[in-house]
Amino acid sequence: MLSVHLILFLAFGAIAVAGAVNLLVQRHPINSALSLIAVMAALAGEYLLLGAEFVAAVQVIVYAGAIMVLFVFVIMLLNAGVEEQTKGSHVAVFLGIPSMLVGSLLVAWVVLKHSGTEAVAAGALPGAPKVIGQLLFHEFLLPFEITSILILIAIMGAVVLASKPTVPGGGPAKKVND
């Protein structure tokens, strides 16, 4: 019997998988970026189904908002065009694709057969921002502070790496041609 919950799960999952496959198929980076945004929005719906409202909101704001805007900005900045096709190895195609299919079918069979199939009800968790905030600032206080240092280092690294390179003579940096 199909419940509403299962129908919603299948719909969001279909959007996510279609977006992920579209990311692989598209040749232009901007199309890949837009399909990745679709994947992230569908995953936010899955988080809502799992009762994690706050994570769903953060997924939309941070991932689909901030990080993907950064990606699209860099694609526009570098004027990235259609990617060039390169020659792959035939052995990898003829051996890799069948063995990948067999392996993924095996993993799916094991997971579906041998996992506890308890239902996950919508809103079953106390996933309110208050509870998560208490957890974050009591039990996970040290990791939280360490991630703030990580963010600080990332900001400084990005500024150093993306700034104009200068050589001691004062002229522009030499281009590498190979």
Partner 1 sequence: MVPLSYYLVLSGILFACGVTGFLIKRNIITIFMSIELMLNGVNLSFVAFAAHWHALAGQVFVFFVMVVAAAEATVGLAIIISVYRTRETLNIDQVNLLKL
Opening angle at CA 125, ends 119 and 130, nearest 5: 165
Distance in angstroms (rounded) separating the CA atoms of residues 33 and 84: 17
Pick between residue 100 and residue 102 the one whose CB is nearest to partner 1: 100
Distance in angstroms (rounded) separating the CA atoms of residues 125 and 129: 12
Of 38, 57, 60, 127, the one binding partner 1 by CB under 8 A: 127
Sites for partner 1 among residues 82-121 (CB under 8 A) = 83-86, 88, 100, 104, 107-108, 111-112, 115-121
Pick between residue 77 and residue 91 the one whose CB is nearest to partner 1: 77
C-alpha torsion angle, residues 136, 138, 142, 145 (rounded to 10) = 50
We find the least distance from the C-beta atom of residue 59 to partner 1, in angstroms, to be: 8
Query: How many amino acids of this chain bind partner 1 (CB under 8 A)?
Result: 84
Under rule CB under 8 A, residue 13 binds partner 1:
yes
Distance in angstroms (rounded) separating the CA atoms of residues 72 and 29: 9
For residue 172, the cross-strand partners are 166
Under rule CB under 8 A, residue 142 binds partner 1:
no
What is the DSSP code string of 28-81? SHHHHHHHHHHHHHHHHHHHHHTT-HHHHHHIIIIIIIIIHHHHHHHHHHHT--
Per-residue contact string for residues 19-58; x = within reach of partner 1 by CB under 8 A = -xx-xx----x--xx--x--xx--x--xx-xxxx-xx--x
We find the least distance from the C-beta atom of residue 94 to partner 1, in angstroms, to be: 15
We find the least distance from the C-beta atom of residue 10 to partner 1, in angstroms, to be: 9
> Among 55, 37, 36, which Cα is nearest to 46's?
55
> Among 4, 13, 76, 65, which Cα is nearest to 37's?
65
Pick between residue 84 and residue 170 the one whose CB is nearest to partner 1: 84
Of 5, 11, 99, 166, the one binding partner 1 by CB under 8 A: 5
Of 90, 169, 171, 178, the one binding partner 1 by CB under 8 A: 178
Pick between residue 102 and residue 154 the one whose CB is nearest to partner 1: 154
